[in-house]
A and B are shown apart, each in its own frame.
Chain A
Amino acid sequence: MPQNADNVLDHFNLFRQPEYKEMFENKKKNFENPVADAELERVREWTKTEEYKEKNFAREALTVNPAKACQPLGAVFAAVGFESTLPFVHGSQGCVAYYRSHFSRHFKEPTSCVSSSMTEDAAVFGGLNNMIDGLANAYNMYKPKMISVSTTCMAEVIGDDLNAFIKTSKEKGSVPADFDVPFAHTPAFVGSHITGYDNVIKGVLEHFWDGKAGTAPALERKPNNSINFLGGFDGYTVGNLREVKRIFESMGVEYTLIGDNSDVWDTPTDGEFRMYDGGTKLEDVANALHAKATISMQEFCTEKTLPYIATKGQEVVALNHPVGVAATDKFLMEISRISGKPISEELTKERGRLVDAIADSSAHIHGKKFAIYGDPDLCYGLAAFLLELGAEPVHILSTNGGKAWAQKVQALLDSSPFGKGCHVYPNRDLWHMRSLLFTEPVDYLIGNTYGKYLDRDTGTPLIRIGFPIFDRHHKHRYPVWGYQGSMNVLVWILDAIFEDIDRNTNVVAKSDYSFDIIR
């Protein structure tokens, strides 16, 4: 009997005991009709070949292990960034259960969001009644200051009109006539989660700036010196937005973070559940119209929002998830240029410390080969940082990055001698990446939690940077932006490299002469 009350065996060890091993063998042999070992081995080896890679890259219809989620997820991400705002997703209810679970698994925090729970009858007759009842219930139960409406693919396929539905709901008294209900159509079959972020941010700005769906006069812009900041869809939003605030404050620049979800996904355990916490104040969203400029940290997350803001007469600046010295320099110099305020002594010193750290450690990173996958801007930012470190981002892959993104990354690669021999792969998935890691191996892989399967299959150590991170805790609390954030990224990469070296040199009397105490 393997189990023991004094030392309770978990699943990791319990099922390795002989009783269980024997049971597994018998189950397989007698009942599973298994593939013969030789055949299994043959196919396993075949999937590592150039021939398989070619077949794999010839895929046109099937997607396997994609590195993207759907629009409505990004919609919820954006909506919770506003003061006391309840995201309301119009469509099937299972979707909302999924978004809430997905975010809670990443942030280890509650995620509040409601659904209009449409079923067969709504599929036939439309979901107007679901909207009317849903808004009334949500308003009464959860006392939000704003309800941000987005859609699932179901509501989009049947063509529900949010603007008309919300108007009718208000007429029926679901919520007061002057209650803020911005909306965005976010079909899951267009774009990805970053598109949903874009659409909701744009929807919220339009609501406040353009006359609240015809119920109020449009605001008139009276330019001031403030800067708006958009983070984009970002798994490090908690750490990053706090770092960005610190940067603005360090420079004494007036700013508005639009969609600040850094508090709602980092609430204390002190006896109280905070359904809402922090967030961009609604009046600040309205006043953001008057800002001098808007900086987007992630161009591909704000493809519609930035041009919209530009039509209001603001300058817009799009960055690509800046990480590292040069990218952070550019970020800060843009803030400085727009605001007319110098970059603070504090930040300049932090820059020097980052350069110092790179100088201390670059010997261990220089020339190392990396594969990166993730959202388009994240991939760009990390690739730029690796080039700066003298590393080679050999494979850069994004499922939701398209041609325009690929060209931009290619230009980046062309700008550095370390980018020679590196390739960019738009609209590809992690099964493509698996082939690449076999046919053109690299030293390290950077990506989200799902990359652990690639690590297991190909032996390429995974450095977890991306979204979601389910199997490591608290990473989202750390910034990856600014000089300090870049320092975090540098340390995570170095930790992985040193651990890898130790793992490869720890065999007694065989390789442990290199098991060095000082590195």
Chain B
Amino acid sequence: MSVAQAESIEDLKARNKELIQEVLKVYPEKTAKRRAKHLGTFEDGKPDCGVKSNIKSIPGVMTIRGCAYAGSKGVVWGPIKDMIHISHGPVGCGQYSWASRRNYYIGTTGIDTFGTMQFTSDFQEKDIVFGGDKKLAQIMDEIQDLFPLNKGITVQSECPIGLIGDDIEAVSKAKSKEYDGKTIVPVRCEGFRGVSQSLGHHIANDAVRDWVFDKQEGKPARFESTPYDVAIIGDYNIGGDAWSSRILLEEMGLRVVAQWSGDGTIAELEATPKAKLNVLHCYRSMNYISRHMEEKYGIPWCEYNFFGPSKIEESLRKIASHFDDKIKEGAERVIAKYRPLMDAVIAKYRPRLEGKKVMLFVGGLRPRHVIGAYEDLGMEVVGTGYEFGHNDDYQRTTHYVKDGTLIYDDVTGFEFEKFVEKIQPDLVGSGIKEKYVFQKMGVPFRQMHSWDYSGPYHGYDGFAIFARDMDMAINSPVWKMAKAPWAA
């Protein structure tokens, strides 16, 4: 049983305070002062979660964060399947991010799609000393030669590029001209820029604006527009998430003209300014381009949440409210159609999960978005935090969390371990670096970035898998075996 369960809200808040004070003790004074601002308890009625965010990580503390390259290549650009994304710099960054994010796509890899491949300029010392522009130009030629069906190229800058003063923009422009206006996008997502993945998302969004949209000015859409055209923004199709979302939007009568960026293509990116509404799942990584399209093309955008039936239902109605009665009726039809499935899933799993406590620490939208799905199963999220959230994420989080929820921004390995040790949740949802730490402690765990190699978790079809997976994690017989019977 969780410690939290036995306590009143006031006790809980006092416990959180004590817990935070306790973990801060380990730090040198200066660090303790800085970390204190990132740890807190949500108080009902407050406009945010009472923590600072989007600030530089402190050296040596074991932050869980990644870098701008991860935000651009790994998140935003990497899934665009018919383009070739060059990891420009030394070999490692591309190697570690090679096919590890599970952005599902359909295509003939190596021929017309390139998602699960690793293209790198594999920088050597001479490239650092003499610059890598010539090599980059030659790489583009070799790509054209060997992968003639590619629809475009992006240059994903690694740390050295910005430090040695390479002009990847000039190379990209020259090669684009040489190849008849081919889309070639230089992205300045060097890993040392900014404080986390987050700036990489922003830089990648800006690169779409500057190097894809601006080229399309005045060109007609490749298809006949309809009043029901929408684009899915900020769904990376992890384990097929965008697919189990798209099917619902289509069933309610909308036409999805683009997916950003899971299973996406350059043609879809180019078509998006012709959409009537952008529906935005991951606000953190793609609000920038949504705002741009609103300002420049007058396309409204609407945030939605496809985790768990309560939020899906709410979101379908919210999206439908931007359209006519046909779509509104369509939304009701979809909700009604899937209700028996949802009832059956909840009837099966809720009794096994009721009252279980969850602690989360994830990236873009999930520290808040998945809370409703857990609640649909009768579970309670008692602690949450963002790897790279900003204040607007913490503001949005207030609509999801309960009074007294422990909040930890850019949590350190040490803090997370201590929090879990003390709070003893029934489940922790975080990433691969955290998974085995908590499993060793005997705490059930699900990776909430990669869906632990399962998924999809979005949409109605995905919720059935989500519920099954949470049950499988928490109620696995393995956790009863962690202690040897003869151990004290």
Contacts and interface: CB of A to CB of B under 8 A. Distances in A.
Contacts of A14: 240, 244, 456, 461, 465
B215 to A, nearest CB: 15
B442 A20 contact: no
Contact of A141 (B27, B100, B247, B267): B27
Nearest to B64: A97
Contacts of A498: none
Contact of B482 (A98, A114, A188, A270): A270
B139 interface: yes
Given A55-B145, A154-B159, A187-B125, A1 B338 contact: yes
B119 interface: yes
A59 B120 CA distance: 13
Nearest to B162: A123
22 contacts: A4-B464, A8-B464, A19-B247, A24-B243, A27-B259, A59-B142, A63-B121, A68-B91, A70-B90, A70-B95, A93-B66, A97-B67, A98-B93, A110-B435, A116-B60, A119-B195, A136-B28, A153-B160, A269-B482, A271-B440, A271-B442, A271-B483
Interface stretch (B14-22, B306-314, B340-348): B340-348
A109 B122 CA distance: 29
For the complex of A and B, the 9 pairs showing the least CB-CB separation, nearest first, are: A94-B67, A70-B92, A134-B59, A134-B60, A98-B96, A5-B344, A188-B90, A33-B267, A137-B60
Nearest to A15: B240
Interface in A22-49: 23-24, 27-28, 30-35, 39-40, 43-44, 47
A197 interface: no
B23 to A, nearest CB: 10
Interface stretch (A99-107, A214-222, A346-354, A406-414): A99-107
Contacts of B60: 88, 114-117, 133-139, 141
Contacts of A272: 440-441
A130 B61 CA distance: 11
A6 B468 CA distance: 10
A104 to B, nearest CB: 5
B225 interface: no
Interface bracket on A: 35 or more
A157 B164 contact: yes
Contact of B59 (A24, A97, A100, A137): A137
B118 interface: yes
Given A5-B345, A31-B223, A141-B412, A65 B440 contact: no
A228 interface: no
Interface stretch (B109-117, B283-291, B315-323): B109-117
Given A104-B432, A114-B61, A133 B31 contact: yes
Given A8-B465, A62-B121, A189 B341 contact: no
Contacts of B197: 94
Interface in B156-172: 158-160, 162-164
B28 A140 contact: yes
B425 interface: no
B357 to A, nearest CB: 18
Interface of B: 26-28, 30-31, 56-70, 82, 89-93, 95-98, 100, 104, 106, 108-112, 116-125, 127-128, 135-136, 138-139, 142-143, 145-146, 148-149, 151, 158-160, 162-164, 191-195, 197, 222-223, 239-240, 243-244, 246-247, 250, 256-259, 263, 265-268, 271, 337-338, 341, 344-345, 347-348, 412-414, 417, 431-433, 435-442, 454-456, 460-461, 464-465, 468, 478, 482-484, 487
Contact of B432 (A5, A101, A187): A101
A35 B122 contact: no
Interface in A362-411: none
Q: Which of B246, B441, B464, B487 has the most chain A CB within a 10 Å cutoff?
A: B464
A114 B59 CA distance: 8
A179 interface: no
A427 to B, nearest CB: 10
Nearest to A154: B159
Contacts of B31: 133, 136-137
A10 interface: yes
A188 B158 CA distance: 11
Nearest to A69: B95
A92 B158 CA distance: 10
Contacts of B111: 40, 43-44, 47
Contact of A190 (B61, B112, B124, B266): B124
Given A5-B345, A153-B158, A97 B433 contact: yes
B417 A133 contact: no
A274 interface: yes
Contacts of A11: 104, 239-240, 454-456, 465
